[in-house]
Amino acid sequence: MPKIVKPDFGEPGIFYTSHDDFRLRGKGYTFRLESNMKTILYMLIASIAFATPALGQGITVDELRAKAKAIKANKEVIVDYDKFTDKGRVTTKPYNLVGSWEGAMSIVASGGLSGPPGTGLLVMASLGLIFEGQKLNATPDEFMLLFDTTSPEWLYLKGDRNIYILYDDQRLELEPIGRDGTVNRRSGVSEQIAYTIKRSQVESIAASKKVEMRIGTQTKSRVFKDEMLKRWQKMLDVTKL
């Protein structure tokens, strides 16, 4: 059975992702990261270590890419391989949970009221995994659910950081496995918080008609829209061996 290895979030403040970086490099869904970082955080998802796999089993990174293209998931699910770390990665394209009107109003409000001028609110959600080598040897039974937030002020600095998800008539509560954040004079506060979520839970959520979530007790509740849930389903389809 795959074993989840909790990620090393490194020293506070060494990660940086801004709204501008997302806009400038969003086409390839890569993000600028500080050169002295210890680990990838925005694209970081649960690292999966497998016991000695049987020969002939599994699916390579290239085969995963071909599968994603064949089922028309390659625009929503990103597959790549880092030859330097010898790790493969599958992740959904980040989805912004903040509506355009709310985001625009947050930029207006931050122009002298609550943060650096031009600082808007972004809550980017992604789901995925990282595996050893160039082959995924088994259907993963757990993923990482990651939120990358840009805002005029701290959202997850203190208090309750659990995520509460309501889907149809069910309720799910998850504890974070890591959190990091930094302040940038131009882009405001950037925070990242991650959770481990079971494949069975992702399946249930992706199939639900109505999904709402809230992180902690002080932040605003958010709706998982159909487009985001479709990305989750395509993630399940691509990683099912």
Q: What is the model's pTM?
A: 0.71
Q: Which residues of the chain have pLDDT under 70?
A: 1-56, 99-120, 185-187
Q: What is the pLDDT of residues 91-113, one digit of tens each?
A: 999 999 885 444 444 444 455 44
Q: Where are the domains of the chain?
A: 3-239
DSSP state of 219: S
Question: How far apart are the C-alpha atoms of 126 and 136, rounded to whole Å?
Answer: 19
- Residue 5 has phi, psi (to 5 degrees) of -110, 115
Q: What is the pLDDT of residues 20-38, one digit of tens each?
A: 333 323 333 333 333 223 3
DSSP 22-59: HHHHTTTT-----TT-SS--SS--EEEE-SSPPTT-SE
